[in-house]
Structure 1
Amino acid sequence: MKGGILVDTIWEKTVDMPSFPPFQGRKKVETAVIGGGMAGILTAYLLSLEGREVLVLEADRIGSGQTKGTTAKITVSHGLIYQKLVREVGKEQARQYALMNQAAVRKYRELIKDHQIDCDFKECSSYLYSKYQEEALKEEVRAAQSLGLPADYTSQTELPFSVKGAVRYTGQARFHPLKFLKAAAEGLEIYEQTLVTDVEGNKIITDQGTVEAENIVFTTHYPIMNRPGYYFLRMHQERSYVLALTGTDHIEDMYLGVDPNDGLSFRSYGPYLLFGGGGHRTGENLLGGQYQMLESNARQYWENCRVESAWSAQDCMTIDSIPYIGYYSFSKTGWYVASGFKKWGMSSSMASALLITDYIIEKKNAFAHVFSPQRLHLKASAKPLAKEGMETARNFVLERMKIPDEAAAHLKKGQGGVIEYERKKAGAYRDEKGSVHVVSLTCPHLGCILKWNPEELSWDCPCHGSRFDYKGNLIDNPAKEDLTHEKPECISGYKKKE
C-alpha cells in the first residue's frame, strides 16, 4: 500500500517475469541498448532477428519502468493530433507520423502471429470521444483520412454515458505488455540491476563494469545524458492515473476522452476495466486526489464496482508532439535515442525499434525524417519552447524564495511538506510510525526545486520530471542519483538527538 492505494499493476500481478544477472567486468559488443522497457527490448529483439550482436543494460528489472504502468493500447489514435500536425508541420510529415505508427500496429500483429507469442493480443477499434465537441472530431476524421488512416466519425459507443461524437479507428489492438516483453526478451543478452552512470564516446560506464559498443541506443524513457542533445530544454513530463475495476460493464473497444479536464480512458482486460485519467504535469500535484476522483467517477456509472488495483505512469512530452527517434546528436556518431512518446508508448516503442534498427543496419526508412531529434519545426515549437523555459525559470528561481510551508513538529503522520531545517529549506515527511524523513529539495539532475506529491508520497521535479520517494530514493529519471538526506529519530517534534 502507498497512501492507502494499491500500487501493483494488473500486468505485474498476472505474469512472472524472468530475472537476469547484473553486468560485471568489461565487454565489447556491436550494439548496446540502455534501458529494458518496451522500446529497449523491442530494439534489441529486432536487431537480433537481423543477426546483429546486441545486449541490454537495465538499471532495475526489465519492464519495471513505464512499461508496467501502460494501459497497453496499440493504436494510432493519439488524441486530436492529425489536424494539428497537418497545420503545424505540413501534410507530408504528418503522413510520415501517421503511417509509421500504423506500421507499428501491423508489426506487433505480425510478430505475435509469426512467433506465436501468447500475450492476450486482441484486435479492436480505438475511439476518441467528446461529450461536447462535434466539429473538432469531424475535422480530425478528415485529417486522418487524408493521411491514409482507417478513421470514421460516429456517435455510437459502448460507454455508460452519451457522447456528442467520436473518432473511430478500426484495426487497432490491445495486449498484455509484460507477457509480450517476456517473450521478446527470451534469448536476448540482458543485464539487470546494472546502473549506467556515464557514457563517454563508445564506452558505457556502469556501477560494476564497462561496455564498449559501436552503437549505443538510449531507451531510458528520458535521455540520461544532458549533453549533447539538450533534451531537457525540449521536453517535460506528465503523470496520469489508472484504476483496475471489477463489477463494471465489459467494454470491447478502447476509448479516450478529448474534452479538457474530462478526458477519461477506458479499456478492458479480462475481468478488469482499466479506467484512467487525472493527468497533470509532474511536480504540479500539491493537493492530490486523482485516485479518489477516478473512483468517484467510476461509481457514477457502476455503483458497486470495486477497485482491485491502482497505479500511475509518467510520460515525456515533446514541444511539437512528435517523439524524438534517431541520432542522439550530430556530434555523437553511433548514439541513438528514443524518447518523448507522450502517452502512446506502445506504438511509439515499436516505431522507434523499427526506425533505429533501420539506422543501424543502414536501411533507408521513408518515415525517419519527421521523428529526427535534430528537426526544427518553428511553427509547432516556438510557443511550447518559450513556455518550457518559463516553467523551468519559475521552478528554478522563484521556488527558492518561498517561505517553508510547515514546521516539522506540526507534520501529522502521513503528511509531507517543505520545512526549515538547519537554516535552509528541506523536504520532510512523517511516516505512519511517527519517524520524520528529511531530504534535500534540490534535484540532482539540474538543480530545480522539488515539490511534494501527496498522492504518491514522493518528491517530484516540475522542470524535468525526476521523482524520488520520501526517503530520497530515485524513482524516475533523468536524475541518476538519490537525494541527499538526514535521518532524524522517531520524535514528536523536530530536534535531532545528539
Structure 2
Amino acid sequence: MKSIWRETCEIEERKPLDENIETEVAVIGAGMTGILAAYYLQREGKDVVVLEAKKIGSGQTQNTTAKVTSQHGLIYHSLLKQYGKEKAQQYALANETAIREYQNIITDLQIDCDFEYKNSYIYSKSRKELEAEAKAACLLGLPAALAKEELPLPFPVWGAVEFQNQAQFHPLKFLKAISEKVKVYENTEVERVEGNKLITKQGSVQAEKIIFACHFPFVNFPGMYFARIHQERSYVLALKDASQVNGMYMGAEKGDYSFRNYGEYLLLGGMGHRTGKNAGSYEALRKAAEKWFPNSQEIYHWSAQDCMTLDKIPYIGQYSKENPDWYVATGFQKWGMTTAMVAALIFRDLICGQEVFYKDVFSPSRFSLGNLPALLAETGHSIKGLGKRVLFIPGKEVEDILPGQAGVVLYKGKKAGVYKDMEGKIYAVDIRCPHLGCQLEWNAAELSWDCPCHGSRFDYRGNLLNNPAQKNI
C-alpha cells in the first residue's frame, strides 16, 4: 500500500533525459536531499540538474513519518562521550538549523504542507538514561528538559526527555513545491559514474560537481560505504479514530513504538529490524493497535528503509579523497527529513566555497577506534551472507512450497528463490544479490527478497525495490 503522503499528493511528471548535456552540478536522486540540494545551489547561481531513476519522491521520502527534529533518540549523551562537546554541538546546531530552514522556505514560497511546531519526546522506563540525556542536551544548548506532564501513551513509562519547538509536516506537499523550482529528469537511472560524467541509457551528463543523494551510494570503490552501512526496515499504520497525542513520541529502546498525529490520523510506527532479518511485520503492529486502540480503523500502512552508520552519525560531505568533486549524503539513521536539510546546507556551502561550521562531525572520512567493533560486526554479516550462498544446500524442491509461501529450493537443478502465489503460479529468481553476491532472504510481510548484507530488495518477480543493487534479478 502507498503511504498517506503518496495517497494525498500528486507531483507532476518530468520527462527523461534524452541527450548528452553539461552542467555545473549534477545530483543523483530526487528525494528530499537531492531536491533541497539543487534548490539551494540554484539559488546561489549554480546550473544544476537532478537525475531520478523513478519519480520525484518515490524513494524513502514518501515513506517517512515526516518529523523534523534535533531529537534523535538518546544520542547526545553518547556523542559527548565519544566525540566531545565541540562536535556534539555541531550535530545539535545543524539539526536545530534544519528546523528553522524548513520554516524559512515554507514562509518564503508560501507552501501549504501542513507544517506545524510540536514538542518531541523520547520515552523510556530507565530514569538514569533519561536524566543523562536531558543533562547532555541542555549542556549543548538544546531546548530540552525532562517532561513534567503525564504522557498520553497507552502503556506505563518512567518519563521522557522533551524537546520543544520541533516540527512535523507533509513531506510530498513540500517536495512538490520546491521541485517546481529545479530541473529534474525522471526515469533516468544513473548506471555508472566515470570521473565527472554520469552515464544513463538515454544520455550522459558531464558535471563539475556530482552529488550522490540516492539513499545508499552505489559506487563501491572508493568510499567502501557498503562496509560502513547497514539498512533497517520499519513499519507504520495510519489509524482513524485513535488517540490524539499532541506531540511526537518515540521509545528509547529497540522494539519500542512511535506515535504522532497527522490531522485525524494517528501514525503508529515500530517493529524495526535489519533488512533481511525479517523480525518485524504489519501484523505485530496491528495487534498492538487492536490492544491499545480497539475502536480504531487502519486506513493506510507502509514501510520504510533506512541506512544506519557505525557511530549513529550520517555521512555527509566529500565522497572520498580520491574523488574531490564527488559528494555524498547517506546513513540518515531514521531521521531523513531533518538530515536531508542538513545535507543540502552542507553541500551548498562546500560547493560554493563558504564556511561550514558543522561539516566535521558528519565527515564521511572520519573513523574512531570506538567504531571498530561495529565495523567488524558489519564485516561478519557480509561474510555470513556470502558463505550461506556458497555453502547452503537447499533441502526443499518446488513441490514443497505451499501456495502463498516462498523458500530457497533446488529448481531445474539450480539453487533459486521461489514464491508460489495462491493460484499455484511459480515465480523463480536468482537468489544471489547482484550487488556483492550475498544470499537473499524471503520477507513474508512484504513479499520480497531482501539482502541481509547491504539491504538491496527485490519483489517476488525479481524487480529491484531498494539499492545499492542496480539491476533486477
TM-score (norm 2): 0.98
Q: What does residue range 46-57 of structure 1 map to in structure 2 within 5 Å?
A: 46-57=40-51
Q: Are the aligned partners of 2:389 and 2:432 in contact in 1 as well (CA < 8 Å)?
A: no
Q: Which residue of 2 aligns with 1:160?
A: 154
- 8 Å CA contact 2:39, 2:181 repeated in 1: no
Contact 2:77-2:136 at 8 Å conserved across structures: yes
Q: How does 1:133-212 map to 2 (within 5 A)?
A: 133-154=126-147, 156-212=150-206
Matched, 1:37 2:31: yes
Distance 2:265 2:126 in 1: 29
Would you say 1:282 and 2:275 are equivalent positions?
yes
Is 1:225–2:219 an aligned residue pair? Answer: yes
Mapping of residues 302-313 of structure 1, within 5 Å: 302-313=293-304
> Residue 474 in 1 paired to residue 472 in 2?
no
Instruction: Tell me if 1:429 matches 2:419.
Output: yes
Q: Which residue of 1 aligns with 2:118?
A: 124
Q: What do residues 436-479 of structure 1 show as CA deviations (whole Å, max 9, x unaligned)?
A: 01111110001111111001010000110000000110000000
AA at the equivalent of 1:217: I
Say whether residues 1:249 and 2:243 are aligned partners: yes
For the pair 1:111 / 2:86, whether they are aligned, the reply is: no
Alpha-carbon distance between aligned partners in 2 of 1:154 and 1:371, rounded to the nearest angstrom: 30
Name 1:299's counterpart in structure 2. Answer: 290
Residue 385 of structure 2: SS of its match in structure 1?
A: helix
2:350 match: 359
Q: 1:486 maps to which residue?
A: none
* Secondary structure at the counterpart of residue 20 of structure 1: coil
Which deviations, in whole Å up to 9, do the C-alpha atoms of 1:100-143 show, x marking residues without a partner? 1111111111111122111000001000001x211101100011
Partner of 1:270: 263
Query: Could you tell me how far apart the structure 2 residues matched to 1:279 and 1:203 are?
Result: 37
Deviations 1:151-192 (A, max 9, x none): 100252222333211000001000000000000101311000
User: Secondary structure of the residue that 2:81 maps to in structure 1?
Assistant: helix
Moved more, 353-362 or 83-92: 83-92
Count of residue pairs brought into register by the alignment: 472
Distance in 2 of aligned mates of 1:22 and 1:459: 29
Q: Counterparts of 2:337 and 2:177 in 1: how far apart (Å)?
A: 16
Q: 8 Å contact 2:144–2:164 — kept in the other structure? A: yes
SS at match of 1:298: helix
User: Residues of 2 paired with 1:318 and 1:431: CA distance?
Assistant: 36
Taking only aligned residues, the RMSD between alpha carbons, in angstroms, comes to 1.1
The answer to whether 1:453 aligns with 2:446 is no
Question: In structure 2, which of residues 331, 339, 343 is the aligned counterpart of residue 348 of structure 1?
Answer: 339
Structure 1 residue 98 displacement after superposition: 1.1
One-letter amino acid of the structure 2 residue matched with residue 210 of structure 1:
S
Cα distance, 1:19 vs structure 2: 0.6
Give the superposition deviation at 1:403: 3.3
C-alpha contact 1:442 1:449 (8 A) present in aligned 2: yes
2:64 maps to 1:70: yes
CA deviation digits over 1:360-381, x for unaligned, max 9?
11101110011111111222x1
DSSP-derived class of the 1:333 partner: strand
2:363 alignment counterpart = 372
Contact 2:234–2:280, Cα closer than 8 Å, also in 1: no
SS state at 2:320 partner: coil
d(CA) in 1 for partners of 2:463, 2:254? 34
Aligned-partner residue type, residue 78 of structure 2: K
Contact 2:193 / 2:199 at 8 angstroms: preserved in 1? yes
**Contact 1:89–1:377 (8 Å) recurs in 2:** no
Instruction: Give the drift of 1:399.
Output: 4.5
Q: Are 1:405 and 1:417, in contact at CA under 8 Å, matched by a contact in 2?
A: no
Residues 197 and 207 in structure 2, CA contact (< 8 A), matched pair in contact too:
yes
Question: What is the rounded CA distance, in whole Å, between the counterparts of 1:278 and 1:160 in structure 2?
Answer: 17
Q: Secondary structure at the match of 2:15?
A: coil
Structure 2: tracts of 5 or more residues without a match: none
Q: Which residue number in structure 1 is paired with residue 9 of structure 2?
A: 15
Amino acid at match of 1:208: Q
Superposed displacement of residue 405, structure 1? 5.3
Q: 1:291 & 1:446 partners in 2: Cα distance? A: 29
Higher deviation after alignment, 162-171 or 147-156: 147-156
1:404 aligns with one of 382, 394, 400 = 394
Question: What is the alpha-carbon distance in structure 1 between the residues aligned to residue 235 and residue 173 of structure 2?
Answer: 22
Alignment of 1:76-115 (within 5 A): 76-115=70-109
SS at match of 1:44: helix
Over 3 Å counting, the alpha-carbon distance change for 1:405 and 1:247 in structure 2 is farther
SS of corresponding position for 2:141: coil
Shift of 1:255: 0.3
For residues 210 and 481 of structure 1, what CA distance do their matches in structure 2 show? 19
CA contact (8 A) 1:59 1:195 kept: yes
SS in 2 for 1:428: strand
Cα distance per residue 1:302-323 (max 9 Å; x no partner): 1111111111000000001110
Instruction: Could you tell me which runs of 5 or more consecutive residues in structure 1 were left unpaired when the two chains were aligned.
Output: 1-6, 484-498
What residue is the counterpart of 2:374 in the other structure? 384
Q: Return the alpha-carbon distance in structure 1 between the equivalents of residues 399 and 444 of structure 2.
A: 18
**Paired-residue identity, %:** 50
Instruction: Tell me the TM-score normalised to structure 1 length.
Output: 0.93
In structure 1, which of residues 307, 316, 325 is the aligned counterpart of residue 316 of structure 2?
A: 325
Counterpart in 1 of 2:410? Answer: 420
